[in-house]
Amino acid sequence: MPSFSIHLAVARAVDAARTPLYFVGALAPDAMDYPHKEHLHFRTCDNRADELVKLARATDPTDDFAEGVLVHLFTDWLWDTTQLTRYRQHDQSDDWWRSYQSHTGEASSHIYYTEPWAQPLWQAMLAVPQGEFGSIAGIAPQDITNLMQGEMRRVQRVRGPSTFFPPELVADFVAHAAQAYVAWRCLHDYCEVE
Ligand SMILES: [Zn+2]
């Protein structure tokens, strides 16, 4: 995964006018542990692209939580096949995951401290009542709250930016991911009316 702030930035670039619940949905799929998380992200499927299309067709675009979940899973797919792949080529050590996480944490923290929308958005997301959260099999509302609270503490502890995922690269990824998502969503049942 590209880091929580990058997920929020992509979700925002897709549609900044949606409610905080949409942004909760845009983090929620990470509120579970391995190996279930891999399954939810379709990483264990033979054809991840097809599974994402099936989910897109089953997702009501007026359901902010569900639409946020879809943006998250699409963004991870794009990130895994571009930036994560690039990272794995750069670091082939056994404990690559640790340094990778420190780079994505730095990139996340940099967004948190430099983008004026970031801190108010975290507060707005934490204020959404758990009863409004949509459902994802295997994830309880409290898991999502724990994820958001834990991640906010984490971004506050770290300082970016990351040298491997610097702000310019992250901004390019965010813009490209949002454009790609809007085009892909339009192919699969939902076009934004201009
Ligand atoms: Zn994820």
- Of 13, 28, 55, the residue nearest 132 (C-alpha): 28
pLDDT band at 100 (very low <50, low <70, confident <90, very high): very high
**Domain residue ranges of the chain, discontinuous segments joined by +:** 4-187
Weakest mean pLDDT among 22-26, 43-47, 175-179: 43-47
Tokens at residue 25, please? 């949905």
- Of 38, 24, 39, 112, the residue nearest 71 (C-alpha): 24
pLDDT of res. 35 = 85
CA of residue 76 to ligand 1 center, whole Å: 6
Task: Give the model confidence (pLDDT) of 68-78 as tens digits.
Answer: 999 999 999 99
Query: What sign has the CA pseudo-torsion 96, 97, 100, 102?
Result: negative
CA of residue 66 to ligand 1 center, whole Å: 14
CA of residue 29 to ligand 1 center, whole Å: 6
Q: Give CA–CA dist 136/69, Å, rounded.
A: 9
- CB-based burial of residue 25 (10 Å sphere; 0-12 exposed, 13-18 middle, 19+ buried)? buried
CA of residue 31 to ligand 1 center, whole Å: 9
Q: Give CA–CA dist 55/53, Å, rounded.
A: 5
- Of 59, 39, 29, the residue nearest 184 (C-alpha): 59
Q: Give CA–CA dist 141/28, Å, rounded.
A: 9
CA of residue 96 to ligand 1 center, whole Å: 18
Q: Give CA–CA dist 117/91, Å, rounded.
A: 33
- CB-based burial of residue 119 (10 Å sphere; 0-12 exposed, 13-18 middle, 19+ buried)? middle
**pLDDT at residue 193 above 70?**
no
pTM of the predicted model as reported, rounded to 2 decimal places:
0.94
CA of residue 187 to ligand 1 center, whole Å: 23
